[in-house]
Structures are given as structure tokens and as C-alpha cells.
Chain A
Amino acid sequence: MSQAIAGPLLEVERASVRFGALLALSDVSVSIERGEILAIIGPNGAGKTTLLNVISGFYHPYEGRILFEGRDRTRLSPPDVAELGIARTFQNVALFKGMSVLDNLMTGRLLKMGGHFLLDAIWWGPAKRQELANRAFVERVIDFLEIQSIRKTPAGKLPYGLQKRVELGRALAAEPKLLLLDEPMAGMNVEEKEDMSRFILDVNGEFGTTIALIEHDMGVVMDITDRVVVLDYGRKIADGPPEQVRKDPAVLDAYLGASHD
């Protein structure tokens, strides 16, 4: 699945994150290869979301560094990270509830919009062309996620499973190189999980987007991911293909608690 350009898309090198006395991440190194679907798993409080936040620039590690496409990106802010081509969804859905699905998706295109506020105001010339092009892309996302029927529905009125899908859509609208999904299937029923799994596989397959996701449902992780990174107490305890990780004694210990009783 990897593309022509050599080297991992993103590397986290020996990153540590500390909240006061709490060491949330300790000396964690993870590389994300181009075109893969990577799962980050681990028990509650293992540091999964912290790792995602480090990648997306919400937190900056006090030690270690982050390379994106081979260049040091350790100190970037979230907007800068977004500009690089990293988009994400959140554990608790973070949509604009009063805005329509369409408008929510259009916000995902914000970074693709330049223009001038006067031209935008009269919707003329380049401003108009640009909006049409952005809308056309958003329509492709709508078609892809099969949400045509809720285009004009306020996001807040949708059931949870659909909100999650819309949030994925907003991330996709940004045409990211790397897509970070924080528990994309939390709180979903089996059918919704199957749909979401299919969308994630299709995003990866059709757009070639690299995906890193946090997920608790082991069935999903085993089915759709290429590689699994396991965190426990802020440390990385395993890294490898799903079949291998599943049998790893350290992982079994972390989940079943044998050595932490």
C-alpha cells in the first residue's frame, strides 16, 4: 500500500508528555507508514488520546520530536498541523450543532479557501469559482459517506452514529494526508460499526489516506488495521501486525491485568 515517496509519513521519536507529576507519555516512539491503517490501543488512561494530541499539535512533548514527511514538526500549533495535511475527529463529537451537515463539511474546506473578504461578500469572480470547487469536493464526500439525505439537516439533530459519520466527513473534506480518528466507533451498535469500518477501509483504499485510529473494539481492530501499537501507562509495550500483537504476553498482561494485580 505504500506510495512512491520513501520513509514513514510521520514519526514520533521518543516523545514524553507530562501533566504536572503525571507522566502521560513516556519515551514513546511510533512511526506511521504511508497508506497504512494503524490502530493505537491500550487500557483506559494508557495515553492513547495524548499520543493523538501530540501528533495533532494540541500538546507538545517536553522531550522527543515529531517528524512529518521527514521534517521536524515538534513545535507546530494545531492550525499549522492542519495545514500540513493532518485532520482528525474527536472522541466526543465536536460538530457545529446548529449548522447543517453541508455547512459543517464546508468548514472542513476552510484551509482550502483563500480569497478576499470583499470578493467573498459579493460572491464574484474567484470567490465564486472557489466556493463552487469546494462545494463540488464536499459533494463527493457526501456521496462517499452516503449522507445525501441529511445534507440540509442541522448536525445536532442527527443520531449519534450519523454525527460520527459527519465528523469523519468534515475531516475528509480537508483532503488530509494523515487522518486521526479518536474512537470512531465508540457508542455505536454492530450495524453502525460495520458501516463505519467499511467507510474507514474505503477512505484508505479509494483516497489512499493514511489513518491512525484509537479503538477499543478488538474485533474491529483485528479486521481493518494493518498494524497495532499498544500503550500501557504511557509506555509503548507492543507494535506489530494484529495477529502478532494479540498473542504478545505483555499485551495480554496489560489487558487481563496479570502482572498489575
Chain B
Amino acid sequence: MTADATTRAHDTFPKLARANAQRIPDRVAIREKDYGIWQATTWRDYLTQARAIALGLASLGFVRGDKVAIVGDNRPQLYWAVLATQALGGVPVPLYQDAIEKELEYIVDHAEARFAIVEDQEQVDKLLALRARCPRLETIVYDDARGLRGYSETCLMSLAELQEAGRKFEIGHPGYVDEEIAKGRGEDVAIICYTSGTTGTPKGAMLSHRNLIVTARNAAEFEGLRPDEEILSYLPMAWVGDHIFSYAQAILVGFAINCPESAATVRHDLREIGPTYFFAPPAIWESLLTTVMVRIEDCAWPKRRLVRFFLDLAQDVERSRLSGRAVSTWRRLLYPLGRLLVYGPLRDNLGMRRVRRAYTAGEAIGPEIFVFFRGLGINVKQLYGMTEASVFVTIQRDGDVRLDSVGTPIKDVELKISDEGEVLYRSPGVFQGYFKNDAATRQVMLEGGWMRSGDAGFLDAAGHLKIVDRAKDVTRLADGTIFAPKYLENKLKFSPYVKEAVCIGQSRPYVTTLVNIDLTAVGNWAERRSIAYTSYTDLSQKPEVYGLIQQEVERVNASLLDDEVLKGAQIRKFLILHKELDPDDEEITRTRKVRRGYIAQKYAALIDALYGDGDRAQVEAKVTYEDGRTGTVRADVHIREVGAVRAAR
């Protein structure tokens, strides 16, 4: 059967999954590390389990179009629940598992969820609390009963009970699930992904089965994905990326997904699995790099020198390759030695020895970080996409990877640049609109099916898409100098010591930065220098730490000299924030994108101080704890001035 014919015959995920259960029943579909062992679910089990859940939901009066909130870490049970919901013609609505009650409440209410299928007590507690204000929510189903023995709420039931009810229901209704699966159509809404968004309230993007199937297949063909791929499903299920990789592509191609044991064991599990296909937002690549750098610092000096030498070499070689320059013979000879001594072992240690392709997506990645991993021989590529496009817009093609572009459009995707310089796209993946928010849909969807990306960019002669920045972020200083905050921040974040940075400068006389230090790296650095500290806040305000960060800022300023356009926008003052930016405090999104507008407002006093004369500022900030309670933290924050770096050094 050709791809098109298959699409017609199996136009929904339940149909595809059922086909897998017949075609490859005993192949592993999902592995989960539980009790220290990787436990497998085959495609046959996947369908059987999902079927029992679907029947259980049916016994509770589930009707087509009902929404099911799904909350928890990546667990096989929750993927079964997604499939079960779709099998009945319902719509799964995955939510961020670390969202606080208030955020969950908005989405559960807005999505009109009748059912919730959640992982454990933590999520049950949140949902029980918000249920009083979300009367539509009828039943909460949990997988892990731990800690729930004293709960007497009638709306609660365990997943096992639900499946048991389903098996009873089946006796009176044989063939029920298959009939419901047969009613499904490609244009039905398959999932609603609420985008956390760097501005405003979350919006629920509705994606149809066809959106996801066509896009996931086009991307799979573009990359030549095979049924023997292994991926690690560790990114939140609420993120459209996890849905496309761990669910849509896994079912389409028939490869195995692996759920880590817990959030804290991801690194270890990554190494045990050795995925062939891997994706991570820049924040994860940054933290991987930080781990590597910290370990190198801990080495004895001969080893440290050796590793540094070869890492520098790898980056030089990779830079030359990316820009199409010739690599000198000397370097070409040394590189294999580096592979033997450093790159290979390091890749193995990171769990990336078997990676055939890896993506960085979600945000622009700092070029240094990108070059670092590619230099190790990991085929990291940039992917440009968004929820509204069913993820894939462009991918860097193997062998045609460049630093400054995000690649070329995949099959069926058309690109054009609007008169204002905004990237517009049109593809079969373009979503069905925001749920109950036509006004927002009209804002992004233009005539003829073109979609606004919100990013400024251009297409080069070879058809590569280059993204400049979030369209609204590229601005000018008061004197008209062009200032691209993201670009500076990514340069800063290449330093293992800088976890997050927010650059400010629009209509200001000069550029300033709020810096978040990386507790692991700076803590390790401080320990080696016998600098005692008591807490994150304390460490962040040490003069030595300011000195350390100042060096990083000066490094970034110096690197700007090469850039004709941006060299005027050097960082002149910075301060180190007393606390980490946190999604619970709404400072960054759950996918770790900085929410500039909110930060500018929240830290207005600090920013004013950066443009004032003083060398310290008082900050009083509201913090939100994981359970939604709030408190206030007061701190005294220092301000450091950095001299401008001039061309003649």
C-alpha cells in the first residue's frame, strides 16, 4: 500500500494503533523503567489496555466529543488513556504535570473536561481542589493509588477499577470500541494542546488526526525514520512535541518509546536506553553542557588540558564544516584521535552514542552550544515548528546543516515572508483553530490558509529559513542601535555558570542584563575556591560570583565585535537575580521560555536601578510554592558595571 492509501484506510490514530496490534503484535511499543527494570508493553498490550480504558469510560457515559484531561509524567498508562479517548471519538487534553492548581483550573474549566486521568496523589489533590469550581469535571481516574487510601470522594476511581468496569461493560456491548473506532474520521479533533505562551492566558490549539498524521509522516519520510528507532519520552506530555514524537510518530512508524523511571533519573535512563532519535529544547542542551563542563573542571589537570584541547579542536572543525570552509590537514588528522580519546567516550556518557538524529527546538539555541554537540559527532539539527503547525515547519537536512538557518521546509509546507518581515507558513498540519477562541484564531490565520508564526525571518537564496528573533523582540536602543535580546542571552547561556539571562534595552540608553546563575556549576566553582555560602540567594550575591559573571559578560561583549550590526549593543550593566526564574512564578513558561513582558513588570524596580546610579537595589518579590501558596522574598541585589570592549584590544 502506498502512503496515501494507508492514510485513507487508517485516517485516525486508533485505526493505526489497531493495525499495529495486528501487524506487529509482539514488538515493543512502550517501555517504562519501574522497580529498576525496563518493563515492556507490546503493541498488542497497548491496544488491549487502551480498549479496557475506553470501555470503562463508555460505562461512565462517555459520548463522542468529550474531553479528557490527562495529567502526569510520561507513563504508559497515560499514553493508553490518550489512545482510549481518541478511540471513543473524544479529545485528550494533556496538561503540564507541574502546573499549579490555578493553571490547571483554567484549562480544565476552559476545555470543559468531563473526565481526568492522572498519575498519582499529587495530581488528584490538585484536581479535587479545583473541582468545586469546575462543575463539569465528573470523574477523576488515578493510576498510582499510593497515599490515596483515606480518600472517600465518590468521583475518584483507580485506573484498574475503570478497566474492570470496562471489561464488565464489554459483556453487554461486544464490539463497542471497534464500532466507535470505525466512526472516527481524519478531520476529527485528535488533541487539544494548550500552549503556555509567553504572553497572556493559555490557548487550546485543536489538531485533527489528519493534521498530525500527514505532518508526522512527512517528517518521518524526510528523516527516514525506521521501526527500530528508540526514543526517550521525557518531555511533558502536554507539549505538542512529545505528542508528535512519542505518540503520533511512534504509532505511525511503529517504533518504541521509553518512559524514564522518574524525573530525577532521566540522565541515567537516557544512557541505558541509548536513543537513536532524540529531541530537547535548548534549555536541556544547555544543562547537558553544564554537566560536562563541571565534570571537566573536576578532572586532574593533565586530563582537563587534554579534554579542553580536543573539545576546542572539535568546535573549530565543526565551525569550518558548517560554514563550508576547508579543514586544515593537521586538524583533519587530529580529529579521529579526539574521537577515540574524548568525543566517543563523552557521547557514550551522555547516552548519545546511538543517536542518528537529534533536534533542538522550541527556541533559538546558542550557536556555541549547537557547535559543541555537533563537534562531538552528534547529529543535532535545528527544527523550526510550533503547536499550530503540528510541530514541523522546517528541518535542517542531513548534510545541509548551517549555523544561522533552521533548515528547509518539509514536504507540503509552503513558506513566505510577509511585508512586515514575519514568517508565514501553510501546510496540511495547520491546526483547526483555538478551542472556543475564534478571535485568537483570526489573529494568526490569514486568508488562503496562511499562518502567522510571530517570528521575524527571511529565506536565503538556497531556500533556507533564517529566524531573526521573535518579531516583537528585536528592537532598538534609544539611539537607534539594533538590539536582539535573544542573541545576547544565548551567548551568555553558553557559559555553564549562566542558567538564564534576560537582556533589556528597548528605548534605553544601553543594554543591561538580569542573570540567573546555575547553582550546580557556580556552587561547584565556589566549593573549589573555598567560598562558603548558605543558599542560592547568598551565593548569587557573592562578590566573587559577580566577578565570575563579569568575565562571562565581557566575553560576550568581545564576541559582539565581529558583528557589524550588533556590536553597538554591548552589555553595560548586569545584576544577578536572587532567585531562579520559575514557571510557578510565571516568569518563564513550562517549556522554559522567558516571559519578557512579565519580568519587565515584576522586576521594574531592579531594571530602574540598572539605569540609575546606585550599585545596589532592593527587591521584594512574590514567590509561589509548588502547592500554589505564595510568600514574599526580600533581597538586596548588587549591580555591576561592565566597561565597553573596544575593537583595539
- A143 and B35 contact, Cβ closer than 8 Å, known pairs A148-B261, A148-B262, A149-B268: yes
CB distance from A259 to the nearest CB of B (A): 40
| B146 contacts the other chain (CB 8 A) | yes
- CA A143 – CA B268 in complex, angstroms? 16
| Residues A139 and B36 in contact, CB atoms below 8 Å apart | yes
- From DSSP, what is the main secondary structure of chain A's interface residues? helix
| B34 contacts the other chain (CB 8 A) | yes
- A142 and B36 contact, Cβ closer than 8 Å, known pairs A148-B264, A149-B268: yes
Which residue of chain A is the closest to B265 with respect to CB atoms? Answer: A149
Number of interface residues of B (CB under 8 A): 13
CB distance from A122 to the nearest CB of B (A): 23
In the complex, chain A residues whose CB is within 8 Å of the CB of B262: 146, 148-149
- CA A260 – CA B232 in complex, angstroms? 64
- CA A9 – CA B381 in complex, angstroms? 64
- CA A202 – CA B36 in complex, angstroms? 21
- CA A144 – CA B34 in complex, angstroms? 11
| B147 contacts the other chain (CB 8 A) | yes
| B149 contacts the other chain (CB 8 A) | yes
- CA A151 – CA B264 in complex, angstroms? 11
| A206 contacts the other chain (CB 8 A) | yes
* Chain A 131-163 interface 0/1 with B at a Cβ cutoff of 8 Å (1 = within): 000011001101110101101000000000000
CB distance from A203 to the nearest CB of B (A): 11
- CA A136 – CA B36 in complex, angstroms? 9
- A140 and B146 contact, Cβ closer than 8 Å, known pairs A149-B262, A149-B264: no
* Chain B 112-151 interface 0/1 with A at a Cβ cutoff of 8 Å (1 = within): 0000000000000000000000000000000000110110
Partner of A198, one of B147, B150, B265, B268: B147
State which residues 145-186 of A face B: CB under 8 Å: 146, 148-149, 151
- CA A135 – CA B150 in complex, angstroms? 30
State which residues 243-287 of B face A: CB under 8 Å: 261-262, 264-265, 268
| Residues B35 and A140 in contact, CB atoms below 8 Å apart | yes
- CA A146 – CA B264 in complex, angstroms? 10
| A249 contacts the other chain (CB 8 A) | no
| Residues A139 and B35 in contact, CB atoms below 8 Å apart | yes
| Residues B36 and A151 in contact, CB atoms below 8 Å apart | yes
| A126 contacts the other chain (CB 8 A) | no
- CA A115 – CA B262 in complex, angstroms? 34
In the complex, chain B residues whose CB is within 8 Å of the CB of A140: 35
- CA A60 – CA B5 in complex, angstroms? 82
| Residues B147 and A148 in contact, CB atoms below 8 Å apart | no
* Chain B 578-621 interface 0/1 with A at a Cβ cutoff of 8 Å (1 = within): 00000000000000000000000000000000000000000000
In the complex, chain B residues whose CB is within 8 Å of the CB of A257: none
* Chain B 535-548 interface 0/1 with A at a Cβ cutoff of 8 Å (1 = within): 00000000000000
| Residues B35 and A206 in contact, CB atoms below 8 Å apart | no
- CA A198 – CA B149 in complex, angstroms? 13
- A206 and B149 contact, Cβ closer than 8 Å, known pairs A148-B262, A149-B265, A149-B268: yes
In the complex, chain A residues whose CB is within 8 Å of the CB of B150: 205
- CA A243 – CA B262 in complex, angstroms? 39
Partner of B36, one of A146, A148, A201, A206: A148
Residue of B35, B262, B268 ringed by the most chain A CB atoms within 10 A: B35
- CA A139 – CA B37 in complex, angstroms? 9
| Residues B265 and A136 in contact, CB atoms below 8 Å apart | no
In the complex, chain A residues whose CB is within 8 Å of the CB of B265: 148-149
In the complex, chain B residues whose CB is within 8 Å of the CB of A206: 146, 149
In the complex, chain A residues whose CB is within 8 Å of the CB of B146: 144, 202, 206
- CA A198 – CA B147 in complex, angstroms? 8
In the complex, chain A residues whose CB is within 8 Å of the CB of B36: 135, 139, 142, 148, 151
- CA A148 – CA B34 in complex, angstroms? 9
- CA A151 – CA B33 in complex, angstroms? 13
| Residues A202 and B261 in contact, CB atoms below 8 Å apart | no
In the complex, chain A residues whose CB is within 8 Å of the CB of B264: 148-149
In the complex, chain B residues whose CB is within 8 Å of the CB of A148: 36, 261-262, 264-265
Q: A136-B35, A149-B262, A198-B147 are in contact. List 5 more A-B contacts (CB 8 A).
A: A143-B34, A146-B262, A148-B36, A149-B265, A205-B149
Give A contacts to B, CB under 8 Å: 135-136, 139-140, 142-144, 146, 148-149, 151, 198, 201-202, 205-206
7 residue pairs of the A-B complex, CB under 8 angstroms, read: A143-B35, A148-B36, A148-B261, A148-B264, A149-B262, A198-B147, A205-B149
